[in-house]
Structure 1
Amino acid sequence: MIDRDRPIWQLTIGELLDILQSERPVQKLEKTPEKRIVYGLKGIAEIFGCSTSTAQRIKNSGKIKKAITQVGRKIIVDADLALRLFREK
């Protein structure tokens, strides 16, 4: 057992490796899937494979409202969430 009050600079390499391996198991970091984001009515039209006028109707219907962030004239859409919301309604 290694004294916990011992300064780290006094440890040998072997002691340091033992501490690092025994204290905590190595946790693998999982990659979080990146959000697919599209912009504007053209982006909405691209997601659904429709015209921009139909994309405007989809946006105005409120079916994908939670997926849309609009600041002024700029429309930002989380594509995966929009598809999921559209399928549900």
Structure 2
Amino acid sequence: MKRIDSKTPLLNLTVEEFLEVSKKLTADENYAHGLKGLAKFLGCSRSKASEIKSSGILDEAIIQKGNLIIIDKKKALELLRK
């Protein structure tokens, strides 16, 4: 499929092109980024999100390299249910 320019108006996209763009956007919604993203996902403050992260409950759902934190939302929900 052709590369879609970010300045292309939505009205000029075909249904197939629009669906391709939509899939890319929803794929990123499976992850939260940073403590701010974790806090938003959990619906709590950043300090509470930091406490939860530090507790080790979500270790299997978190990938961290230095200050970069990525949380797999689906896995985090499974771990919180336990």
TM-score class, shorter: 0.5 to 0.7
**Percent sequence identity over aligned pairs:** 45
1:4-23 equivalence runs, <5 A? none
Flag the structure with larger Rg.
1
Distance 2:63 2:34 in 1: 10
Q: Give the unaligned 5+ runs of structure 1.
A: 1-33
Moved over 3 A (4+): none
- TM normalised by structure 1 equals 0.58
What is the CA RMSD across the aligned residues, in angstroms? 1.6
Query: Does residue 69 of the first structure (1) align with residue 67 of the second (2)?
Result: no
Count of aligned pairs: 56
Distance 1:47 1:65 in 2: 16
Q: Give the unaligned 5+ runs of structure 2.
A: 1-26
Distance 1:61 1:41 in 2: 14
